[in-house]
Structure 1
Amino acid sequence: MAARASALLLLGASAIMAGPIAVRDTTVATTANVQAVVGTTTWNVGAVDSFPIHGSCNVTQRVMLERGFNEAIALARHARDHILRWGHDSEIYTKYFGKAPTGEPIGWYTKIADGDKAGILFRCDDIDGNCSQDGWAGHWRGSNATSETVICDLSYQIRKPLEAMCMLGYNVANGATNYFWGSDLIHRLLHVPAVGEGAVEHYAESKDGKYPAVLSLAKNNATFAARDSDAIQYFALEAYAYDIAVPGVGCPGRYTPPKASPTGTATPSPTVSPSATPASASAAAAAATSSAAAPAEACQPHGDHW
């Protein structure tokens, strides 16, 4: 009897334990990650990323100019990167810029490669009548339109691509700085106030020639070598030749003075005011940041300079 009672008790307990569990009334709180809607503004809205080309340029001219701009950017970007990597340890740097701080030439190359392209316009019409003059391949319009540069038809015939670096008898010391599309356009861009800011000019001057004048400026007045248009071009060309075109060799060349030109020849005068920023103003602005004496500016119409 006792055993029967125990069995019944166990059976009852099992039934209770096997019964349904009561559902508990539980409230779970959740937090939604709600982001506030904030107005956004593109910081560089209105930026101009490519060099503007005037409608006077036909399709072929536009293609060649765009290729030239790409090469100018390639030259400038590599020149900047060479300085960033080697600084004053680069013999090429000290050759053209002496002991000048690296920041200034880095800045000029960066403006050409990555700066905003507003305030710059390249056109192909002979609006000032200079392209009809013998030997003129283009010109900066000066006071007629300081932001504009005219590229004459001759440019499309004589400029070489960067692929021709160190070919066809070219070397840096004796070759023209405007032999290549890229270096020619760097020169023309530096005349435009939006790029050269009136600080980059032609400060190297010598009866012996442009190349030795640039080297002399680097030794004797490095402050202005760092903002000399020719030095900026020469350095970009030699760094590219040594690092990219013929690595470790380049084509620096040994300077040979040109033969004297016949007397009685005259350089045609442009029909524009030669400079929107007089030499005295540029030198004064530069002298404000340096105690070095400013050399005389040597930016005069010559050949296809403008």
Structure 2
Amino acid sequence: MSRDSPPGSNSGLETVGDEQKNRSVEQTSDEERATGIVAETSDESVEPTEFVDSVVETALTNPVAAGDAIGDLLAIVRDCDEDARVAAEEALDLMGLLRPVEFEVWIGDIVQFASADRDELSFVGLRALAQLSAVRPAVAKNGLDAAISRLQAQHVPTRRAAIAVVGEVGEAFPEAVTQTDRQIMTAMRDANSSVRLAGVMTAGKLLGAEPNQFPRTVSTLPETLDDDDEEVWEYAHAALIHFVREHPSQVPEKRHVIERLATVSDEELGVREGATKDAMTTLLSYEPGFDL
């Protein structure tokens, strides 16, 4: 596995307001990276599952050091038996949760995984891209073509991960994902509630960024306010509030949206106090004479 710097990006050199201290490799001292380095897989005495366990143990105390093992974890996912593969997948997910910036220098390998024909490999690559894109969208953009090509994958986890990549990268670069408007609309109507949830979350990000580029997504989001899945229902309302805050004039069916927001509370939706009322007030300014 290569550990080359990502192509076409200078975004990884500085992080502003990064509470997890997600510095790039260029900003990580040799002393900090050297502490707690895990064993190399080239040591034949170390079984793959034992190696993964050591990576997890290191990640919990020193995720910077554990980042050096990402290439080995990817190799285990690709080449080893099911027990080792599943353990490595979980370890990669843990790294993505603790310190997703560590995926940055492995971007070439991650994009190869995301582009793989095997669903289990594609899912691992796309999930890593989604996690990375939350902190380095310009770097994750290198895998955008792979994500877009899997938006209608039959494998549900792969489809969800691809939708998440589009949302995270598209929030920063909406012009790069305008061709996904129809697929995001379809995702919000999917029979699988987890796919609908991914679609609604992505819709909120895209419509908060540039709603004019996603007309089908704009017109479909209000439909999801009636979703029978509690989590989809919650995120649909939260996404709509975000849309109203950023682009109120573009919100369709304003009176219907106002009426729906009047029936929910900030606590129900998990949004900041006053957010629902602010959204209603904003929309009412576009509907003079409308009385609830």
* TM more than 0.5: no
Higher relative contact order (CA 8 A, sep 6+): 1
Q: Shorter-chain TM-score: which interval?
A: under 0.3
TM-score by length of 2: 0.25
TM-score with structure 1 length normalisation? 0.25
Richer in helix (by share): 2
